[in-house]
Amino acid sequence: MENYNPFSLAGKRILVTGASAGIGRAVAIACSKMGAVMVITGRSQNRLDETFHLLEGGGHESRTADLSSEEDINNLVRDMPALDGVVHCAGIGFRKPCKMLTSSDVDEVMNINFKSSVCLQAVLLKEKKVNKKASIVFLASRAASSPSIGNALYSASKGAIVSYANCLALELAPRFIRVNCICPAMVWTDLILQGGLTKEYLEQEQLKYPLKRYGVPEDVAHLAIYLLSDASSWMTGSCVDLTGGGE
């Protein structure tokens, strides 16, 4: 039984969006360490190259794309090899009080955090790029059900992802393709510093978590490995909270 490892990703080809930084980068690297052949995409060629050089193993592909562009999505998928897993990590953070929100704010956040993943997934399915028994993972957020001041639009975009993923899980079940969400609480990435909160403030706030820290990208990546692996073969339509015991 020395070689028994239900979490192995050997023989699986996995696409990770938003792989140029943060959680997406961590997911891509961790999956490569578990034996997966990676297809990574992001908007920044330089940062995507950095991720690519950190991948272990061989056969990986790196493709620059802006997923808010229908043309870029079509170009990305056109020559895409068949996939055994997809991890939708592309997204942005956003904080602004409700009374200050504009139409352009709504378009920006929903287009990147919701529409881009939905449209990419639709094209992947239409072009038959997702293998039977594959696993699809969406990076949502505890913000979807845990309100905070100024976070309404971001929370709404992640709530939309959860609702969409639940329906997608039902539609793809006949092909044994699984669909699940990860809902992290606060994770140390560049995104959490974009809302005007200082690092010093956040370092104090994280002590309120029962485990006395915010997450790191690798925490999320390790859960993604489980959801992509055969170890979770009876799991679909689930939304997994990852919170360090916090809200």
- Residue 81, domain CATH: 3.40.50.720
Q: What is the pLDDT of residues 51-83, one digit of tens each?
A: 999 999 999 999 999 999 999 999 999 999 999
According to the model, what pLDDT value does residue 5 have?
95
Q: Is residue 102 part of a domain?
A: yes
Q: Is residue 181 part of a domain?
A: yes
Q: What is the total count of domains within the chain?
A: 1
According to the model, what pLDDT value does residue 43 have?
95
Q: Is residue 18 part of a domain?
A: yes
According to the model, what pLDDT value does residue 192 have?
82
Q: Is residue 1 part of a domain?
A: no
According to the model, what pLDDT value does residue 17 have?
98
Q: Is residue 104 part of a domain?
A: yes
Containing domain of residue 142, as a range? 13-242
Dist. CA 73–CA 227, nearest whole Å: 24
According to the model, what pLDDT value does residue 3 have?
86
- Which parts of the chain have pLDDT scores under 50? none
According to the model, what pLDDT value does residue 1 have?
59
Q: Mean pLDDT across the chain, nearest whole number?
A: 96
